[in-house]
Amino acid sequence: MEEIIGFVTGNKNRQKLLSLLGSKHGLDVDKLAKNMHIAGPSVKKLSDELMEKGLIVQENGLYGLTELGDSVEKRIRTF
């Protein structure tokens, strides 16, 4: 768990994306990009990284947290 938390907190945009999905469920790339103030392709790259680690899932173009992602998001709120 500590390794995954380190992975997320090692990049502010990864952390921001996970936190955003923790507060607003079911967002698409465009809404994530707008909320994070970064380009869509950057969001796509970040989301791919987080999906690879099993932290988020994509269904019908919308992103959401997995159980693991939810646990990590709750832990990093204190950082």
Give 23-76 pLDDT, tens digit per residue.
998 999 999 999 999 999 999 999 999 999 999 999 999 999 999 999 999 999
pTM attached to this predicted model? 0.93
Token readout for 68 is 């693991």
SS3 content of the chain, % helix, strand, coil (to 5): 65, 10, 25
| Per-domain boundaries in the chain | 2-76
Give 7-28 pLDDT, tens digit per residue.
999 999 999 999 999 999 899 9
Amino acid 25: pLDDT: 85
CATH topology of domain 2-76: Arc Repressor Mutant, subunit A (1.10.10)
Amino acid 78: pLDDT: 76
